[in-house]
Amino acid sequence: MSEINRAVKGTNDILPDKSYKYRFVENKMLETAELFGFKEIRVPVFEHTEVFSRNVGEDTDVVQKEMYTFEDKGGRSITLRPELTAGVVRSVIERGVINGALPAKVCYIGGCYRYEKPQAGRLREFHQFGVECFGAANPAADAEIIALARQILVTLGVKGISLKINSIGCEHCRKNYVAALKSYFEEYKDTLCGTCNGRLNRNPLRILDCKSPICSEIAAKAPLITDYLCDDCKAHFAAVKESLTAQGVMFDVDPHIVRGLDYYNRTVFEFVSGDIGAQSTVCGGGRYDGLVAKMGGNDTPALGFAIGIERLMMLLENTEAPFPEDKKCVLYVAAMGDKAQIKAGGVCAALRDDGIAAQCDLCGRGLKAQLKYADKIGAAYTTVLGDNELADGKVTVKDMKTGETYVCNINDISDKITDLSLKSALHSLEESVLTNG
Q: Which of residues 111-140 bind RNA (CB under 7 A)?
A: 114, 116-123, 126, 128
- Give the nearest distance from C-beta 149 to RNA in angstroms: 9
E strand residue ranges, 250-402? 252-253, 265-273, 281-287, 302-308, 331-335, 358-360, 381-385, 394-399
Q: What are phi and psi of 335, to 5 degrees?
A: -130, 145
Q: Which is nearer to RNA, 169 or 285 (CB)?
A: 285
Q: How many residues bind RNA (CB under 7 A)?
A: 74
- Cα 425 to Cα 333: distance, rounded to the nearest angstrom: 21
CB of 132 closer than 8 Å to CB of 103:
no
- Cα 317 to Cα 314: distance, rounded to the nearest angstrom: 5
Indicate whether 396 belongs to the interface with RNA (CB under 7 A): yes
Indicate whether 241 belongs to the interface with RNA (CB under 7 A): no
Q: Which is nearer to RNA, 100 or 198 (CB)?
A: 198
Q: How far is CA 400 from the centre of its chain?
A: 36
Where in 74-113 is the site for RNA (CB under 7 A)?
A: 83
Instruction: Out of 367, 406, 410, 418, name the contact with RNA by CB under 7 A.
Output: 367
Indicate whether 220 belongs to the interface with RNA (CB under 7 A): no
Instruction: Out of 29, 41, 170, 374, name the contact with RNA by CB under 7 A.
Output: 374
CA torsion sign, 169 to 174 to 178 to 180? Answer: negative
Indicate whether 279 belongs to the interface with RNA (CB under 7 A): yes
Indicate whether 202 belongs to the interface with RNA (CB under 7 A): no
Where in 147-166 is the site for RNA (CB under 7 A)?
A: none
Q: Which is nearer to RNA, 147 or 239 (CB)?
A: 147
Indicate whether 339 belongs to the interface with RNA (CB under 7 A): no
Q: How far is CA 231 from the centre of its chain?
A: 36
Where in 299-338 is the site for RNA (CB under 7 A)?
A: 305-308, 310-311, 334, 336
CB of 246 closer than 8 Å to CB of 282:
no
Following DSSP, what letter does each residue of 196-258 receive, concatenated? HHHHHHH-GGGGGG--SHHHHHHHHTSPPGGGT--HHHHHHHHHHHHHHHHTT---EE-TT--
- Give the nearest distance from C-beta 171 to RNA in angstroms: 18
Q: Which is nearer to RNA, 76 or 328 (CB)?
A: 328
